[in-house]
Amino acid sequence: MSTAPLSAASHATPFTFNPNETGPNDQAGENPLDNHEAKPEKSETAPINLRQLLGNPEHKSAPFCAAVTCPSDATLPFAAQIADTRQCIPNGLPARCFSMSGDGENLLKSVEELRLEPYDDRNPSKKLDQWNKFATIGYRHLISKSEWSTYKKGIDKNQADLLFQNDLKPFADAVRSSISTNLQQYQFDALVMLAYNIGIGGFKGSSVVKMINDPCAKTSYATLEDAWKAWNKTGGKVSQGLINRRDAEWKVFTQATYEKW
């Protein structure tokens, strides 16, 4: 994308968002959970200064700061040597520099929960002895019909971990290709977790991406938090599970706090 990366140095004017501004509602993209943004409601939350949040080494969520560099010619994700996932990198790094951290993977795994035998995702207590399009295994890996013969008798944890890594990659790639501003490691993790749940199409077309790339973008939401937490419905109904999930992701994004509810 052509938008220049945000940094505290390049954007000194505080960001404010007019809650009366409106824009087109996001359309749910490819999304296996039928999870989509809710229509915005009036926010009681003061807008966060995104320009400070994205790359400012003084924001309160970071316990310490240390310089980390990413090769300017890197064509593949560069695993920055970060001593602590919560570490703040002055001015952040481009999204292409990050891979999902161990803390991020562990939180996502705990949310998805490990199952070593095939089950029906509509009814997780139901084990399967024949394939259907909701057949699932591992950390919610959807089993294709061609894979059924491989997974119908179950898997071990090592196989589940490998499936998880393969499933995670396109969502991490989607964050790298969609976000044009600098990030911290924990912000990258939170965005991957969001994309993993709402789908690549939903993520790329979301107000979350628009507002991170351009804090002045016109969307239907007064704050980034509102846009993030609007993804709270499944089957047209608000889901407490999705509310909890969005809250956990938001804490990762803003506080570097990796906690399951």
* Catalytic residue from among 30, 41, 105, 112: 112
Is residue 112 annotated as a catalytic residue, yes or no? yes
What residues contact 123, with CB distance under 8 A and at least 6 apart? none
Catalytic residues, which ones? 112
